[in-house]
Each structure stands twice: as structure tokens, then as C-alpha cells.
């Protein structure tokens, strides 16, 4: 049964009271239905690491779907069931989610290559997991509530700060675990254990990464780039030879590290300055990684990762346009606000931050900073409706006038609604005259 100890005091210290109450209710319902119920995985790991995590995964020894439906009905919430996998999600009003999995009581078909071990169903469920630190379970049924169940040395490895697999074929079974190991290692400041590290090296050497489907590979890379600080994990990917097999020319040399560190700096600047504007920071790192590839290799990597067509096009577009804009800035370092606005406005903030990280020029960085702080949300006060009220005949000329007013506003040439209106009139006249001029020219010829 593995080692057990009661950790209700850790629960009380780490979790909000209503979550503890929820765990108790899950256990009580299990008891009523004659099922054993456990909270498992990352939730328990993070509990012991004192890291906030309310993604609750539970395993039911019994029928997870019956359990979820009964719980949902009693609590007046929704349960989304996946019959095929015998899993369900309990969806609470306040965004809280509980994933319910079934540890079947019947016989398990296990890959022939693995030693046949007779397990209880919880133990079997946990044995299929990636690392020992993710195999801890917490009993929820009333008479054993709060008991920590540790079959595979998860507590020891948390104490030793070690990422270890459960058996030697783990990476053969699922090569994405190579990237997961690297991600967890860096996230928690742990170290991949010696034996596990040599299993990773071996797995990379015998080409297991090559066997991974593009989308799964991309998904794992994306997850690494979404971590708080992905740079050490990328370095580790290079050390384990993972980057090299994805694309031989994606290397992690001093220049690459410099680019990624610049990205990190630029991202923290942005996040501090614009706290409430969400950013897909992984995208900036991803651009950083790809940016140093020769064109042909870029195509190969995008192919390898099976990126959607629109994503490929956006990446190619970004690199091309960023180069263009940086070239323009080099030729004309001191541009007017309207020119900076026009140059940067087609880009997403992530792409501009990538540009900011790749340039060494202080004046370009300053221009970008001004764009974010001052220009990007500027709008003329008058609208098409106002032009109509002024008696200007509607047509394509409206867009032209409003754009010119925006430029004037950005450059500080107009500062009020009245000044905008006066400019609109002047522009409309000019357009009208130009139109008539053209007409008389046509008539004259």
C-alpha cells in the first residue's frame, strides 16, 4: 500500500476552507457509492511544494461517470462526461474545475514489454504517470481523509528535488515525457535524476523524438515556452540534444542565448508597464527561436511541427516585415509619431516585442516604447458621423480624412475636437478642389 501519512495539517495550511470542504464532500459521496476516491497528481505535488494550484484531479476506484453525475446533481452544478475514456469534468460556477478519472476495477491490459505487476487499481493508474513526483495520492473517503499515499517514492524525490521516471521504458512509452521532464525540472528548480538523464540521452540517441507527431511536439514546446522563465529549459533542451534533432540548425549558442535573454527582459518591461494587458509571451520566445534559421530550415521546422498554414504565413510575414521596419528605422532613426504608428500598427504586441528584443538600437527601442505608451490607443475625436454632419459627401474620402486627422493628432498638430473639425474641413475642401481639378483636366483633354 505504499507509505501513508496524514497531511490534514498541510491541507489546512495550504488550501482555502471551501476547497477542503469540497474534498471532504467528494470523499463522502464516494463512501456512499461504495467507491474509493483520491485526489492525485500535480495538485498533491504542488500541495507539498507549497505552490498554489487548484487544478484538482481525482481518481475514483469504481465508475467515475456515475460518481460525477451524482456529485453534479447533488451540488447543482454541471458535469461534462466523456464516456469513451470514462472521465468527467465537474464544472463549478467560479471557474473551479475538478477532473474525474476512473481507475477501473477490471483487469488491465498492459504493454507486453513491461514487467507484469499485480496492482490495485489506484496504484495501476499512478504507475502509468510520468514522474514519481506526480504519483502522490490523497485519500478522500471519510475514514482515511487526508492520508498521503506514496507508492513510488514521490515524497523522497520532492525532498531530493529530483525528476525521476517510474521505469526504464517510460520514454519509449511516451517521448513527450522528455520535454515534460525538462519543463518540470526548470519550473521547480529540480534536477533530472542521473538514471533518468541517461534514459533521456539514450531515448534521444535512438530517435524517439523523431517518432513524435508534429502537433504533440509543438504542444510540448509551446508548454515549455509558456513557463515563467523558459530560457534555462531551452538551454537544457540543447544539452540533451533535443533541439538538435528537431532541427540541426536550431542551436543554442551565445547569440541565441543573448536573443532569448533580451526577449525575457523586454517581456518583463512590458508586463510591468501594462499589467492588465494579456500577452502570449510564448509566441515572442517562439519567434526568437525561429528567427535565426535560414529560410529553408525555417520551412522544415514549421513542417516538422505541423504548424497550421495561417501560423506559418504569419511567422514568415513577421520576419519579413520586422526586417523591413528595422531597416527603415536605421535609415531614418528619428521618425515622427505618425510614421512610427503606421510602421508598428500592423503588428501584434508580441511581434513588436520580438522586434524590440532583436534590435540593439536605443532609438528604435525608444520609438517602440513611445508607441506602446503613447500612440497605439490614440484615436481622432471626430468620426464619420461628424463628417456627414459637416456636409461632406460620404465616400472613400472619409477614410482618407480620418487617417490624416489621426496622423495630425499623433504628431500634436491638432489637440481638440474643434481643431480636428477645422482640419477636416480644410482637407475636404482640398479633396474637392483636387477632384474638380482632375475633372476639368479630363474635360480639357
Query: Where does this chain bind ligand ATP (CB under 6 A)?
Result: 41-42, 55, 129-130, 134, 174, 176-177, 180
Using the CB atoms, write b or e for 75-91: b if 16+ within 10 Å: eeeebebeeeebbbebe
Q: How far is the CB of 130 from ligand ATP (least distance, A)?
A: 4
Angstrom distance (rounded) from CA 4 to CA 74: 31
Torsion angle of the four alpha carbons 391, 392, 395, 400, in this order, in degrees rounded to the nearest 10: -150
Kind and range of the H or E run holding 186: helix 176-188
Smaller CB separation from ligand ATP, 127 or 269: 127
For residue 123, the minimal CB distance to ligand ATP (Å) is 14
* 290 dihedral zone (left: phi>0; alpha: psi -120 to 50; beta): alpha
Nearer to ligand ATP, 181 or 367 (CB): 181
Handedness of CA 226, 231, 232, 235 (dihedral sign): positive
Q: Which is nearer to ligand ATP, 41 or 349 (CB)?
A: 41
Toward ligand ATP, which CB reaches closer, 51 or 415?
A: 51
- Residue 360 neighbours by CB under 8 Å, 6+ apart: none
Residue with cell 534521444: 204
Helix (H) or strand (E) holding 97: strand 97-103
Question: Rounded CA gap, 312 and 75, in Å?
Answer: 46
Closer residue to ligand ATP in complex, CB, 223/376: 223
Helix (H) or strand (E) holding 156: helix 154-159
C-alpha cell at 339: 510614421
Contact 48, 190 (CB under 8 A): no
Supply the minimum distance, in Å, between the C-beta of residue 227 and ligand ATP. 9
Residue with the CB atom nearest ligand ATP in the bound state? 42
* CB closer to ligand ATP, 175 vs 380: 175
81 beta partners: 88
Closest to 45 in 3D by CA, of 180, 155, 185: 155
Which is closer to ligand ATP, CB of 55 or CB of 436? 55
Give the span between the Cα atoms of 151 and 2, in whole angstroms: 4
- Closest separation in Å from C-beta 348 to ligand ATP: 25
- Beta carbon nearer to ligand ATP, 41 or 146: 41
Cβ-based nearer residue to ligand ATP, 128 or 366: 128
By the 10 Å C-beta count (0-12 exposed, 13-18 middle, 19+ buried), 303 is classed as exposed
**Cα separations in angstroms, 321 against 18, 299, 361:** 51, 17, 17
> Which of 183/409 has CB closer to ligand ATP?
183
Amino acid at each position: 500500500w505504499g507509505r501513508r501519512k496524514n497531511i490534514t495539517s498541510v491541507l489546512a495550511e495550504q488550501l482555502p476552507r471551501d476547497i477542503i470542504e469540497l474534498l471532504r464532500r467528494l470523499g463522502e459521496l464516494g463512501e456512499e457509492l461504495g467507491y474509493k476516491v483520491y485526489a492525485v497528481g500535480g495538485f498533491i505535488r504542488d500541495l507539498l511544494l507549497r505552490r498554489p494550484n487548484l487544478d484538482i484531479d481525482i481518481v475514483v476506484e469504481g465508475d467515475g461517470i456515475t460518481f460525477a453525475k451524482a456529485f453534479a446533481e447533488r451540488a447543482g452544478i454541471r458535469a461534462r462526461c466523456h464516456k469513451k475514456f470514462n472521465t468527467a469534468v465537474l464544472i463549478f460556477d467560479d471557474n473551479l474545475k475538478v477532473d474525474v478519472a476512473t481507475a477501473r476495477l477490471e483487469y488491465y491490459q498492459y504493454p507486453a514489454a513491461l514487467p507484469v505487476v499485480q496492482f490495485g487499481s489506484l496504484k495501476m493508474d499512478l504507475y502509468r504517470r510520468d514522474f514519481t513526483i506526480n504519483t502522490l495520492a490523497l485519500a478522500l473517503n471519510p475514514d482515511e481523509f487526508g492520508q498521503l499515499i506514496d507508492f513510488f517514492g514521490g515524497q523522497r524525490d520532492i525532498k531530493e528535488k529530483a525528476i525521476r521516471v517510474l521505469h526504464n521504458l517510460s520514454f519509449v512509452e511516451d517521448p513527450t515525457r522528455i520535454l515534460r521532464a525538462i519543463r518540470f525540472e526548470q519550473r521547480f528548480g529540480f534536477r533530472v535524476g542521473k538514471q533518468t538523464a541517461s534514459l533521456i540521452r539514450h531515448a534521444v540517441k535512438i530517435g524517439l523524438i523523431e517518432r513524435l507527431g508534429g502537433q504533440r511536439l509543438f504542444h510540448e514546446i509551446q508548454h515549455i515556452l509558456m513557463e515563467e522563465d523558459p530560457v534555462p529549459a531551452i538551454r537544457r533542451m540543447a544539452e540533451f540534444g533535443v533541439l538538435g534533432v528537431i532541427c540541426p540548425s536550431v542551436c543554442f549558442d551565445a547569440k541565441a542565448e543573448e536573443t532569448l535573454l533580451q526577449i525575457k527582459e523586454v517581456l518583463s518591461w512590458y508586463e510591468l508597464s501594462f499589467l492588465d494587458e494579456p500577452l502570449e509571451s510564448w509566441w515572442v520566445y517562439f519567434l526568437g527561436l525561429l528567427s535565426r534559421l535560414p529560410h529553408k530550415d525555417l520551412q522544415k521546422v514549421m513542417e516538422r511541427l505541423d504548424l497550421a498554414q495561417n501560423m506559418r504565413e504569419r511567422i514568415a510575414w513577421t520576419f519579413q516585415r520586422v526586417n523591413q521596419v528595422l531597416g527603415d528605422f536605421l535609415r531614418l532613426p528619428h521618425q515622427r509619431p505618425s510614421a512610427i504608428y503606421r510602421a508598428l500598427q500592423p503588428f501584434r504586441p508580441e511581434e513588436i516585442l520580438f522586434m524590440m528584443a532583436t534590435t540593439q538600437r536605443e532609438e528604435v527601442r525608444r520609438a517602440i516604447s513611445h508607441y506602446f505608451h503613447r500612440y497605439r490607443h490614440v484615436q481622432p475625436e471626430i468620426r464619420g458621423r461628424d463628417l456627414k454632419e459637416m456636409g461632406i459627401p460620404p465616400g472613400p474620402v472619409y477614410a482618407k480624412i480620418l487617417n490624416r486627422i489621426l496622423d495630425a493628432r499623433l504628431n500634436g498638430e491638432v489637440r481638440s475636437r474643434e481643431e480636428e473639425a477645422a482640419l477636416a474641413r480644410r482637407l475636404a475642401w482640398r479633396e474637392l478642389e483636387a477632384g474638380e481639378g482632375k475633372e476639368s483636366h479630363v474635360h480639357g483633354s
